[in-house]
Chain A
Amino acid sequence: MAEKFDKQSSLDFVYDFYVKMKKNNINLAYEGEITHQITKAFTSLAENNMTLENDPSSVQKKVFHVMVECLQNISKHAEVRINETTTTDGRGIFLVSKDDEEYNITTGNLIKSDKVNGLRKMLENINNLDPEGLKQLYKQQMREGRLSPKGGAGLGFIDIARKTGEKLVYSFLEIDEENSFFVLTSTVSRKNNLISE
């Protein structure tokens, strides 16, 4: 139910949006279809920025991994309603924020409400595991899981949790009976944490 486009208020919105991005240290925000070109563009951009910032190469690699897995999750699993009856795959919102301590990679996309419980359980389970538990779960899924027709291995969230060493932060917002909005934030510390391992 899009309202009529109001040019003046849209100008105000742009400034408002800019201020909010700055306040939240967001340096990349995108909404739309996630294609391989988009993935390539965003990961190259991030790599260039991180090189300029002199982030350790282990941090750069972790950010790259998380971005790829998150973007490919959207392109494989997200559902978007065009209207009441038609849906299309592969759209969502993608944000990257950065402060002195960490990178945060956030995705948001529509999913069918009947998938919420299963997904919530999976994420809760991952967050309850320690590094050794995550390793065992990863190996079990790799041995026993099958690739979906779209190439999904069921390993993405486990891999993000293992590589970042951080809990996954997520929420599900019910839009209507059939559709929910799924938001996930993954955090990569900018400190080189090789010593702690």
Chain B
Amino acid sequence: MEPIIIEGTKKTPDINFNAGTGILQIEGRSIPENSIEFYKPMVDWLDEYANSPSEKTVVNIKLEYFNTSSSKCILDVFKKLEDIHKAKKDVVINWHYEEDDEDMLEAGEDYQSILKIPFKMIEIEE
């Protein structure tokens, strides 16, 4: 299955979803006005990936900012991953936040409490 590689812009993050390695990355800023359009390819990709996922899926989230429109789409991405986890596959979400960014840590904890999927909170030292 083809990977998704999208280069980041000032309003959208870098995306690198690789079915071969099972490593999925979202990194940068996510503040598009309408995030549905931007996240749709990732949600569709995960639908297909869910048919034959890697034994272990590692999701690296390193967001600097995301708006509330994106927050809902990111939840949709995580829900797809939750389904894969429910199907007894290994899935872990590594949620990165800068050391003084309490808001970003809290945002990760919000997702963690909504979803039944292992999260690892990782502090990035400046």
List the interface of chain A (C-beta within 8 A of B): 36, 39-40, 56-58, 61-62, 64-65, 68-69, 72, 75-76, 135, 138-139, 142-143, 145, 147, 150-153, 155-156, 159, 162-163, 194, 197
Chain B contacts to A: CB under 8 angstroms: 10-11, 31-36, 65, 67-69, 71-73, 75, 98, 100-103, 106, 110, 113-114
Tell me, rounded to whole Å, the shortest Cβ–Cβ distance linking A50 to chain B: 14
Give Cα distance in the complex from A69 to B102, angstroms. 19
Q: Which of A57, A142, A153 contacts B98 (CB 8 A)?
A: A57
Question: Are B101 and A142 in contact (CB-based, < 8 A)?
Answer: no
Cα A191 to Cα B50 in complex, Å, equals 46
List the B side residues contacting A145 at CB < 8 Å.
72
- For the complex with contacts A58-B101, A151-B32, 15 further pairs of A-B residues with Cβ separation under 8 Å are A39-B33, A56-B100, A58-B103, A135-B110, A142-B72, A142-B75, A143-B114, A147-B36, A147-B72, A150-B33, A152-B69, A153-B69, A153-B71, A155-B71, A194-B102
Which residue from B34, B102, B114 sits with its C-beta under 8 Å from A151?
A: B34
Residues from chain A with a CB closer than 8 A to the CB of B110 are 135, 138-139, 142
B33/A76 in contact, CB under 8 A: yes
Q: Summarize B's interface: helix, strand, loop or mixed.
A: helix
CB-CB nearest in chain A for B110: A139
Q: How far is the CA of A75 from the CA of B102 in the complex (A)?
A: 28
Do B100 and A36 touch (CB < 8 A)? Answer: no
- Residues from chain A with a CB closer than 8 A to the CB of B33 are 36, 39, 72, 75-76, 150-151
A163 to B101, CA, bound (A): 11
